[in-house]
Amino acid sequence: MIDSLDHVAVVVHDLDAAVDGYTRLLGRAPNWRGADGGAHHAWFQLGNAALDVIAPTGEGYTGNQIQARLASHGEGLWALAFGTPDMATARRRLERVGIASSEPLPIRSTHPETGEKRRWLTSVADAGATHGANLFLIETSPEAWPISPVTVDEGSSVAGLDHVVVQTPNPDRAAALYGARLDLDMKLDRSNPDWGMRLMFFRVADLIVEIAHPLKDGVSNGPDKVWGLSWRVANVAAAHDRMGGQRVEVSPIRPGRKPGTSVFTVKGAPGGVPTLVIGPAQ
Domain ranges of the chain: 4-139, 154-280
Of the ranges 143-147, 178-182, 198-202, 211-215, which one carries the lowest mean pLDDT score? 143-147
pTM assigned to the model: 0.96
Query: Which listed CATH number (3.40.605.10, 3.50.50.60, 3.30.1490.270, 3.10.180.10) goes with 154-280?
Result: 3.10.180.10
Asked if the domains at 4-139 and 154-280 fall in one CATH topology, the answer is yes
Burial of residue 85, with CB atoms counted within 10 A of its CB: 0-12 exposed, 13-18 middle, 19 or more buried = middle
Mean pLDDT for 27-35 is: 97
Give the pLDDT score at 269: 97
* Cross-strand pairs, 139: 84
CA dist., res. 144 & res. 31, Å (int): 12
> Do residues 13 and 19 make contact, with C-beta atoms less than 8 angstroms apart?
no
- Work out the average pLDDT over 173-184: 97
As assigned by CATH, the class of the 4-139 domain is alpha beta
